[in-house]
Structure 1
Amino acid sequence: MSTTSTPVVFIHGLWLHATSWTPWVELFREAGYDPIAPGWPNEPDTVEEARSQPDAVADLSIDDVTEHFAKIIASLPAEPIIIGHSFGGLFAEKLLGQGVGVAAVAIDPAQIKGVLPLPLAQLRSGLPALGNPANLHKAVSLTAKEFRYGFGNAVSEEESDALFERWTIPSPARPLFQAAAANFAVHSQAKVDTDNGTRGPLLLISGTADHTVPDVVTRSTLKQYRDSTAVTELRQFEGRGHSLTIDSGWREVADAVLAWLRTNGL
């Protein structure tokens, strides 16, 4: 009699390629899961191809990407655990709120509707896209300096530059505009069903030194779930920035996620 390993779906955020999850995929496979890390809609298979074809992902919306991953999940042999970083975290929350997946982990998740804090560091991190309204329907790339501020501020400049060269790709600006305007839009695509009490467990993770999604934003996200009876927890990593899933300290975060999953019988 064979047993089916629990699928895990990793979802990356803006400006990183799906292959940035490779160390996590390998670790979770060794831990007995069946992990995959699909790209966003139309995302080329390699970093090099993605950089050469920025228009492939231009104008994607939050719903476009959420529906893309919902279709992937529907094709799996069993309901997966969904793990997302940054906007991938928002998609993980949105899918879990819709009853998709058995559990979710949202690492430095992008701001959902209802979250009010907007720290200056977050505004500055979003300027490469939000600074020009004409970017709405375009794909935008970061410079090494912009990546250093938004992702690599808690690691050395040398490590930040190496991560930039290895993993960064152009990304659609539209999700950032949607998240930024979420609290002013009645039917915002950044809305998550935070009241759902029948969903699986959710773990929110923040880095206390994160500029792109500051810790205060993730703590405010946790408060949005106050009316849900489902398991919702927050784990903070002191002194970690937005690069915490890809930098030299990624294993500490990954091990904490694995421990949380075991605690919840997953």
Structure 2
Amino acid sequence: MATSVVFIHGLWVHASAWQPWRDLFAEAGYTTEAPGWPGDSETVSATRLNASRVSGHGIQDVTDHYAALIAQLPDKPVVVGHSFGGLVAQKLLAAGLASAAVAIDPAPIKGVKALPFAQIRSALPVLANKANRDRAVSLSRRQFRYGFGNALSRAESDELFRTFTIPGPGRPIFELTGAKKDPVSPAAVETGDPRRGPLLIVGGEKDHTIPQVVARQAAELYGSATDTEFREIPGRGHSLVFDSGWRDVADLALRWLAERVPAAR
């Protein structure tokens, strides 16, 4: 039986951005799914037209959404997540719902202390207005350029903005900012369980939205008894999973998975 892989996108990027990954993993023998977040529509344009549907959903809502979808699969899948999807992937792995996880430029789990200026600036489109906690928020072309496309040419960044960006709920970012003081924060992840499956955390060297030091600190929070590995991708920003260099990151994930969760069980 072929191993299932579930791809989880992050804020502001539609699930269709995973299509090249799905094609590549299918060629390698995996079966793939790339469901959207709660409220996402099937296409980028439809999601933009129905922005209110995505508002109000928090980290746990998104996690529960994917957990319900995973429960319908014939096997325990691998989960591959980007940005907030990387945080959700870690939560699903820790809950025993995934056989392995790849978290790429993941939003910080509770306990990460690093808070670089670039990360704060990238979150300002949401945090600047407290009312955004319960709203859908869209990035401007300029905000996308800073947070996602800073390591790309302006032309490529603008094309990715046009092709893949969608409104996203503001709530997850507010939940991250309050994680330190929240005893039941949805950003909390069990990091010491040696029984859970393997985890690869990937950080882009030039990422503004989730700077590399944030991803590295997340990996360091995991206990030495867990199968956890960190890799840095030189010269790459937050768009690394869907820009022109996506194949380098996908090949890294495939090589890592081949040693731990074969395409055929």
TM bin, normalised by shorter chain, reads over 0.9
The answer to whether the 8 A contact 1:163-1:247 is kept is yes
Which runs of at least 4 in structure 1 moved beyond 3 Å after TM superposition?
none
Structure 1 residue 218 corresponds to structure 2 residue 218: no
Q: CA deviation at 1:264?
A: 2.0
Tell me how far apart the structure 1 counterparts of residues 53 and 261 of structure 2 sit (CA, whole Å).
39
- Equivalent residue of 2:229, what SS? strand
> 1:95-106 to 2 correspondence within 5 Å?
95-106=92-103
User: What TM-score, normalized to structure 2?
Assistant: 0.98
Q: Give the count of matched residue pairs.
A: 262
- Give the aligned partner of residue 137 of structure 1: 134
Matched residue type, 1:243: S
Q: CA deviation at 1:265?
A: 4.2
Could you report, residue by residue, the CA deviation over 1:101-158 in whole angstroms, capped at 9, with x for unpaired residues? 1000000000110001100000000001111111010000000000000000001000
- Give the aligned partner of residue 207 of structure 1: 204
Q: Which runs of 5+ in 1 are unaligned?
A: none
Could you report, residue by residue, the CA deviation over 1:17-38 in whole angstroms, capped at 9, with x for unpaired residues? 0111010011101110001100
Q: Which runs of 5+ in 2 are unaligned?
A: none
Q: CA deviation at 1:230?
A: 2.1
- Give the aligned partner of residue 161 of structure 2: 164
User: What TM-score, normalized to structure 1?
Assistant: 0.97
- Give the aligned partner of residue 263 of structure 1: 259
- Give the aligned partner of residue 232 of structure 2: 236
- Pick from 158, 170, 186 the counterpart of residue 173 of structure 1: 170
Tell me how far apart the structure 2 counterparts of residues 85 and 265 of structure 1 sit (CA, whole Å).
19
- Equivalent residue of 1:32, what SS? coil
RMSD: 0.7
Tell me how far apart the structure 1 counterparts of residues 6 and 219 of structure 2 sit (CA, whole Å).
22
Q: CA deviation at 1:166?
A: 0.2
- Give the aligned partner of residue 151 of structure 1: 148
- Equivalent residue of 1:211, what SS? coil
- Give the aligned partner of residue 6 of structure 1: 3
Work out the percentage of aligned pairs sharing the same amino acid: 54
